[in-house]
């Protein structure tokens, strides 16, 4: 009889050791999901802002803002209330003659950040995305397509 009574408490001791580890793993999986979601959101929204910047027409789209300010405003508006557990975000806009380059990044807050500081992470997980979009003159593009069609019909 003594043998059965001594085994009753062993499950409680094992559970007391394993449950905190399982809890920490579940929390970290949730934060990995937040991080991946945020990375997907900034990649998508950065590219949308670059495309909108290509469609910007001076004096027609927004009479007050120039192209650079317009793209920056679009990027901020697209991120608003979309990121989960993000501590900070940034975006750099570079407008050249025929190309728009937007580099965006975020910092996701992570619990147990003191453990991550030893691994090289300062306050959480950082990620950045760079998206490019080329400005094409629609009229020239359509004319080029029509020239190619004519060349194809002529057999050249």
pLDDT higher than 70, residue 8: no
User: What residues make up the domain containing 107?
Assistant: 2-154
pLDDT higher than 60, residue 3: no
Within the chain, where are the H helices? 2-7, 10-54, 67-79, 113-117, 138-154
Domain count, the chain: 1
26-84 residue pLDDT tens: 988 998 888 888 888 888 888 888 888 887 776 665 566 677 777 878 777 777 777 77
Identify the sign of the CA torsion 11, 13, 18, 24: positive
Summarize the confidence of residues 131-155 as an average pLDDT.
84
Q: Which residues contact 43 (CB under 8 A, 6 or more apart)?
A: 129, 131
Q: What is the mean pLDDT of the chain?
A: 78
Q: Which residue has the higher pLDDT, 121 or 106?
A: 106
pTM value is: 0.67
**Predicted pLDDT at 141:** 81
């Amino acid at each position: 009889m003594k043998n059965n009574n001594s085994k009753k408490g062993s499950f409680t001791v094992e559970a007391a050791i394993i449950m905190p580890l399982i809890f920490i793993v579940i929390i970290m999986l949730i934060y990995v999901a937040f991080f991946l979601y945020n990375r997907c959101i900034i990649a998508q929204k950065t590219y949308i802002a670059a495309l909108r910047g290509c469609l910007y027409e001076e004096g027609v789209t927004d009479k007050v803002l120039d192209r650079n300010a317009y793209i920056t405003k679009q990027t901020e508006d697209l991120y608003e209330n979309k990121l989960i557990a993000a501590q900070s975000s940034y975006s750099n806009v570079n407008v050249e003659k025929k190309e728009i380059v937007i580099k965006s990044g975020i910092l996701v807050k992570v619990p147990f950040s003191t453990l991550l500081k030893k691994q090289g992470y300062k306050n959480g997980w950082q990620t950045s995305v760079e998206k490019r979009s080329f400005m094409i003159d629609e009229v020239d593009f359509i004319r080029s397509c029509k020239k190619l069609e004519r060349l194809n019909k002529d057999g050249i």
